[in-house]
Structure 1
Amino acid sequence: MRLIVVNDVSEALGGATKVALQCIEAGVAAEFDCAVLVGDDGAGIRSRFPGVKVEALGERPLRDGVSFPNLFDRNFNLRAYRALRRLLETRSDATVVHVHGWSQILSPSIFHALARSKAKVIVTAHDFFLSCPNGAYVHYGKGEVCTEKPLSAGCLVSACDKRNHLHKLWRFARAMTQTAAGEAFWSRVGVILAHEGMEPYLSEGPLRNFLTLRTPSTPLTQSAVEAWKNSRPMFLGRMSVEKGVRTLAEALNVTGKAATLIGRGPLLKEIQRALPHCHVPGWLDDDEVAAVASRARYFFMPSRMPEPYGLVAAEALMCGIPVIASSNALIATEIEQHQAGLVFESGNARSLADIMALMESDALVRHLSRGAFAYGKNVAPSRDEWRQQIVDIYSGRLKFVTRDKLKETMGRPARQEFEMAGRI
């Protein structure tokens, strides 16, 4: 079997790339003939997998700055199209192509290349770019979840973009280019969901085949955290509007609570200015993050978007750190049900401040910490389980479920869902 993994970048600075690297690792371990298409220079792949063929474009992601040519090549990147066509020239009928990120460099052109191939195509939905033009179902101007149907007239006129409406129109056009790969193509694509709650956001269009595979998680610390003995909460994630850091900053100022906020992004400088009483260092390496987590009382997940999963929240739960989650996070309900944390109203700083006041109780934090540690054992598959499941998906032993069948399994634990998927 031949496996081609497709992703915008090769350096693991985000969850999507981490999963892409794990897919390559699983393919290599299974002795597949592996190749990779990336939009950057490919250094992160070549250093880690020297025996894997890498097709690298050597381009920069949009988040590093936009140039005039990007208006065209990030809508349809001809170099990416041709590169993927080259990789597909041999044995395309015995090939599995697994797509992760494409919105920063590769563009929807890759789907047009795949539509001309007999290869089996799988896309992991790390976000909502498969359906929503801005990838988040968020109206950035209002700071609310967007309820417009993607690519409808209402979507076209909605000034939901984080930059301006002209940029939204460009995103709309790019989404149209993506859709133009054809309904016949999209109806045969298998979509891996990071969380089963993503399906309603993705099934209104031509997508038909889904399967939930939660990302394997590693605890933030090597040993369980006795959170009730600690005093300082923490945040770990991208400093951006959709991640809710402005709501978090407002709540921290209302309460005067000192916290540690780790991460990079467009709002980093703003948050550093807004929170002089907090530690906002930017990005830290894994050892430094572990040191902060070992002293954490609870973990913030203040997302303004329908957060697809929240890998770092799972990593916090696994070491017994309770999570204060936004009501927009898809994992929020199960956090509450398992008494592993508390939920506040998304975008409401006063609601968050009230929850923070409750977390001053050592007895409550002790109860939630123990609930978090117990739930963290089952919140995601182990790396070995995940590796076997992804190989089973590639080989066809684990089947995708049509969207009608998937609705019957919504809300069931991931393991039961996989067992059902394997019988269909």
Structure 2
Amino acid sequence: MKILMVHNAYLHRGGEDSVVEAEIALLREHGHTVELYARSNDEVAGMAAPTLAIQTWWSQRTVRDIEQRVGHFRPNVIHVHNTFPLISPALYWAAARAGVPVVQTLHNFRLLCLNALFLRDGKVCEDCMGHLPWRGMARACYRESRPASTVLAGMLALHRGIGTYRHKVARYIALNEFCRRKFIEGGLPADRVVVKPNFVDFPAPEAAERSGLLFVGRLSAEKGVATLARAMALLPEAQLRVAGDGPEAGSIEGIPGVRRLGNLPGSAIHGEMSRAAALVLPSIWYENFPRTLVEAYACGLPVIASRIGALAEIVHEGETGLLFEPGNAEDLSAKLQWALAHPERLREMGRNARARYDAEFTPEVNYQQLMAIYREVVSS
């Protein structure tokens, strides 16, 4: 097949960017021809606000670019990861006019929530679910800016109104069943939303002595860093290594047993996961499908996660990890204490985690799932 990948890269590199690169590499390894149409949020700097607003709603540049790419490349399918803000939903209309089916991966909840997190004031908020997001606009939920929130809300209202999301996308890919249910509840057609998780390509870990806890990710409020800090303060005997950086870094400074590693490359993350006893994932929002979790499973590392959203679906209590109440530092502390007191049970959970990775999250399994989606939309 010929596949045209589409992605609007973020200002700060994140998991979505890694997923795009991994899927392109996977498809090319299997002999498919893949081109990437990309824009970057670096372009936003210096752009006039009215110009950015217009591009967010309907980018004529995207229409021209896609028409040219399709005419030259003639793809069988266009696979979209992110169109916000520069590519815009005009992409879907350009693809439809060219007769090329569109597959859209839903990495976050942007189509349903202005901040894409279903999170407000540190708590889950679904006030805009299934409605025009006027509440998010009034509350300045996107970047704490009412003008920016108004632009985003206008884009969603426009494209819901003209049927873009219901009629111009052949298949939506949700990353798990929890997210699929949320998107259907929010108004996407149920028969067009399928599930395909993220994947990673990590070799089986070598047998090694495991010790200590590990956190990997951005140190930001939605990741539950404050909860983690309070829990560790209750466990001065525990050892936690923290890989990552972000605005909440100060909340874990000076806590006994906590050692910051900073941002690490993938190979170093793999090494840390192969040595740790458990990964801690204390998010307070509906994580769609953190690659960190799949990486942990690949490394035979059990996960201690918040009982929220998809995490409660992906982490099997007592089998591949433990669950605690989101935002509850005392509950997290108790689970960490139990885990460190039962190293053999943790090792068993780690073996189960690797077995689940082999069954569900390898590149080959993911490739078969992706090709089934492509073949279905192309044939129909």
TM-score, structure 2 length as denominator? 0.84
**Structure 2 residue 175 is matched with structure 1 residue 205:** no
Amino acid at match of 1:199: R
Amino acid at match of 2:340: E
Give distance in 2, aligned partners of 1:168 and 1:353.
37
Do the aligned residues in 2 keep the contact of 1:190 with 1:210 (CA within 8 Å)? yes
Paired position in structure 1 for 2:308: 328
Paired position in structure 2 for 1:88: 70
Give distance in 2, aligned partners of 1:202 and 1:301.
23
Deviations 1:22-63 (A, max 9, x none): 3323443454443210013xxxxxxxxxxxxxxxxxx5177x
Paired position in structure 2 for 1:21: 21
- Please say which of residues 245-254 and 332-341 is displaced more in the overlay: 332-341
- Please say which of residues 389-398 and 310-319 is displaced more in the overlay: 389-398
Q: For 1:133, which of 105, 114, 125 is the aligned residue?
A: 114
Give distance in 1, aligned partners of 2:265 and 2:214.
15
How much does 1:113 deviate? 2.9
**Structure 2 residue 375 is matched with structure 1 residue 392:** no
Identity of aligned residues (%): 21
Q: For 1:73, which of 52, 55, 64 is the aligned residue?
A: 55
How much does 1:99 deviate? 0.4
Q: For 2:198, which of 197, 215, 220 is the aligned residue?
A: 215
**Structure 2 residue 326 is matched with structure 1 residue 346:** yes
Q: For 1:192, which of 173, 184, 196 is the aligned residue?
A: 173
Give distance in 2, aligned partners of 1:398 and 1:117.
13
Amino acid at match of 1:360: L
Paired position in structure 2 for 1:52: none
How much does 1:297 deviate? 2.1
**Structure 2 residue 37 is matched with structure 1 residue 3:** no
Paired position in structure 2 for 1:421: none
How much does 1:210 deviate? 2.0
| RMSD across aligned positions (CA) | 3.4
How much does 1:65 deviate? 9.8
How much does 1:343 deviate? 0.7
Give distance in 2, aligned partners of 1:222 and 1:65.
47
Paired position in structure 2 for 1:410: none
How much does 1:396 deviate? 2.6
How much does 1:87 deviate? 1.6
How much does 1:180 deviate? 4.7
Amino acid at match of 2:346: L
Give the 3 Å change call, closer, same or farther, for CA 213–277 of structure 1 in structure 2: same
* Equivalent residue pairs, number: 373
Q: For 1:108, which of 66, 89, 112 is the aligned residue?
A: 89
1:398-417 alignment, distance < 5 Å: none
TM-score, structure 1 length as denominator? 0.76
Give distance in 2, aligned partners of 1:255 and 1:5.
46
Amino acid at match of 1:216: F
Give distance in 1, aligned partners of 2:224 and 2:46.
23
Give distance in 2, aligned partners of 1:339 and 1:374.
6
Do the aligned residues in 1 keep the contact of 2:317 with 2:323 (CA within 8 Å)? no
Give the 3 Å change call, closer, same or farther, for CA 372–5 of structure 1 in structure 2: same
- Please say which of residues 20-29 and 237-246 is displaced more in the overlay: 20-29
Runs of 5+ consecutive residues of structure 1 not aligned to the other structure: 41-58, 401-424
- Please say which of residues 216-225 and 367-376 is displaced more in the overlay: 216-225
Q: For 2:263, which of 278, 283, 302 is the aligned residue?
A: 283
